[in-house]
Amino acid sequence: MKNLIFGLQVALLATLFTSCSSDDYHYIDSPKVYEEKVVVANRGAGSISFIDATSNQVSMLAISGSEPMYVVYVPTKDKIFVGDRAGKKIHIINPQTKAVESSITVGNGVFHMWADGLGKQLWVSNDIDNTISVIDLNTNTVVKTINVGMKPHDVFLSKDATKAYVSVFNADAAIPDKVYMYSTSDYSKTGEASVGKDPHLYHLPASNKLFVACQSGQVYALNGSNLSVISNNAFIGAHGIFPSPDQNTVFVTNITGQQLYLINATTGMQNGMPLMTLSATPHNIVVNEDGNKMFVTHSGGAATAVSTYTISGTTLTAGTTITAGTNPFGLAYYIREVK
């Protein structure tokens, strides 16, 4: 009888262990953590500032001997690219470690730069040697130097990575500046258009419109395929330009008049009245992913301000002023998973 009971106990235990060993264990993954930052190039400080896009807290990374002009975040590579005018380089920063990983030598006179939406190429405007450095983002090497023939300034690549737009300056104040269009596959110039003076660019993929903000007092909308003029409206001091995430509104700084314009992307006309900015010389703009917060750099030899604004539809409300480094210039927004 004892042997029978013992046998039953052994069988029961064996069944229990077999059952347990065959269970599928499901472990709950840790929730993903994201960081949301605005990176600011401090031209006069040789540094970049990282601003928390929610709390406005600031940290800083010094890049020895540098003159940071503009910054670009490339999501497909999870890297930050910083244009260094003094060093004739593009510095590659790991956003996880906030450290410079490597640098790429480019042309003389580094100014504006932009990457396409697929993370294939980064184009850098060099306004002293009048060239564009084309960087392959898979190898981080310069694969082409384009001789522009005039002084290049702003540059913008289409989201689909097929076209590049470059604004060029004419030294004669009486002659309009231009926008050149290039193929990103063979680097050939495929079109050009005359615009106002000191033009800055942003292409909207949804409508295929290239908006051109000219400090001489105009904002153009050009056809992104052939650069024909869709609209041309007067906006005094138009300079920095960035759209809302839904691409219905284009925000433009009035750099000479300390204002922000809200422009209807369909009509090219102003929505409401311009808003006075919190500091003088509003230069460049970014908007967060949710489309409810704007960051603006205020440039100048002794300037340090980055101002914020709340966006609600077509209404802007002034927020606060954040202290960055000396002469905050270009800026970029990103949201990324913390790894």
Instruction: Give residue limits of the domains in the chain.
Output: 33-337
Query: Looking at this protein, which amino acid is placed at residue 314?
Result: T
Residue 225 CA to residue 209 CA, distance in Å, equals 9
Q: What are phi and psi of 183, to 5 degrees?
A: -85, 135
Buried-exposed string 260-270: b where 16+ CB fall within 10 A, e elsewhere: bbbbebeebeb
For residue 66, give the nearest of 88, 93, 81 by alpha carbon: 88
pLDDT tens digits, one per residue of 96-134: 999 999 999 999 999 999 999 999 999 999 999 999 999
Question: Does the structural domain 33-337 have CATH classification 2.130.10.10?
Answer: yes
Q: What is the pLDDT of residue 10?
A: 44
Judged against a pLDDT cut of 70, whether residue 9 lies above it is answered with no
Q: What angle do CA 282, 130, 93 make, to 5 degrees?
A: 60
Instruction: State pTM to two decimals.
Output: 0.91
Position 320 pLDDT exceeds 70: yes
Region 221-246 average pLDDT: 99
Q: Which two tokens stand for residue 94?
A: 């790991």
pLDDT tens figures, 270-286: 999 999 999 999 999 99
Average model confidence (pLDDT) across the chain = 94
Dist. CA 144–CA 312, nearest whole Å:
43
Cα–Cα distance, 312 to 310 (Å, whole number): 7
